[in-house]
């Protein structure tokens, strides 16, 4: 998969552009459904990544693109679940996450990419 951070609010995966947060799981791209995490928005100033969301855990490495400025909060329950499952969780700004995702084995690597903040 070829991934590229276009700029604030947009990523490109395999030539297709997305203007919303996405999940990449086994090479399949879907929209991140952050509704289950909105209940914790008041704690962080905007919606964090929580274990209440669908997280693509069937991988060895989960890359979390934390946004243009790296501001996406990741709650402790996500970090704890990654440890429990033996998944390496890498949280980096989305431009770096895209570079890491490009060329990664889709059977071993999943991603959550936040496209704003």
Supply the CATH number for residue 15's domain: 3.40.1230.10
Beta-ladder partners of 91 = 64
pLDDT at res. 104: 96
Q: Give the count of domains, the chain.
A: 1
Phi, psi of 109 (to 5 degrees): -125, 130
Query: What is the domain range of residue 7?
Result: 3-114
Residue 8: the pLDDT is 96
Cα–Cα nearest to 67, from 114, 13, 12, 7: 114
Q: Which pLDDT value is given to residue 36?
A: 97
pLDDT at 64: 98
Local mean pLDDT, 10-residue blocks, the chain (117 residues)? 96 97 97 97 96 97 97 98 98 98 96 96
- pLDDT at residue number 72: 98
Say what the pLDDT of residue 105 is. Answer: 96
How many angstroms from the chain centroid is the CA of residue 66? 7
């Amino acid at each position: 998969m070829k991934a590229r951070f276009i700029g604030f609010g947009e990523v490109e995966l395999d030539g297709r552009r997305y203007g919303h947060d996405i999940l990449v799981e086994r090479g399949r791209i879907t929209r991140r459904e952050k509704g289950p995490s909105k209940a914790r928005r008041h704690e962080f100033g905007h919606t964090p990544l929580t274990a209440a969301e669908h997280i693509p855990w069937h991988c060895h490495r989960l890359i979390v693109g934390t946004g243009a400025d790296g501001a996406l909060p990741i709650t402790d329950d996500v970090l704890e679940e990654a440890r429990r499952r033996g998944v390496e969780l890498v949280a980096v700004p989305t431009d770096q996450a895209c570079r890491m995702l490009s060329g990664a084995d889709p059977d071993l690597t999943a991603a959550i990419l936040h496209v704003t903040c």
